[in-house]
Homo-oligomer: A and B are copies of this chain.
């Protein structure tokens, strides 16, 4: 890449360029293979330059995490549009699991890594996308509770019950810990478990 080309590209866009390189690296080599120095190499700047645009590596990971929610929302599109709240819950569950299994590195950053969370804490920010996701699920649960006239069920607890189930399922699968239950075909195992979870809650 020539010097002229680079000059044209950067200026106001260097932050974006850094994030694009970071994303490329995340998807190619995972969070462990993502280093400031390699980003610097990729975009042909020195490592120090990156620190003029981001406070530290956690800040970059935090922005990547936010981008990850964009990717997840694509998976959720159809599910969110479901009219029936219980069908919506089912679809959200499926989409969530599919997103997790197909996007290990995004998922890790969004729901497991403490680095983006450390940035949030440091900057006194909030986990906005996480909150929005949970709020939507909670509202869907409220509708399901109302529709099914379920008694003594708190919408928040129900939402958490669903979230932690799929979260646990995805994590067990991503860390190869489901293999002890069934060597191959963990996809089927996951499907069956999700169906069982929703069935035990809503009785079909």
Task: Please list the residues of chain A having a beta carbon within 8 angstroms of any beta carbon in chain B.
Answer: 111-114, 117, 121, 126-127, 130-131, 134, 153-154, 156-158, 160-161, 163-169, 171-172, 175-182, 189, 192-193, 196-197, 200-201
How far, in whole Å, are A166 and B114 apart by their CA atoms in the complex? 19
How far, in whole Å, are A114 and B158 apart by their CA atoms in the complex? 30
Contact in complex: B164, A168 (CB < 8 Å) = yes
| Residue of chain B at shortest CB distance from A195 | B157
| Residue of chain B at shortest CB distance from A202 | B200
Given contacts A130-B177, A180-B130, whether A169 and B168 have CB atoms under 8 Å apart is: yes
The residue that A161 contacts in the complex, of B134, B182, B196, with Cβ under 8 A, is B196
Given contacts A167-B172, A172-B163, A177-B127, whether A112 and B112 have CB atoms under 8 Å apart is: yes
Contact in complex: B177, A168 (CB < 8 Å) = no
Smallest Cβ distance from A56 to chain B, in angstroms? 15
Given contacts A165-B165, A200-B201, whether A192 and B157 have CB atoms under 8 Å apart is: yes
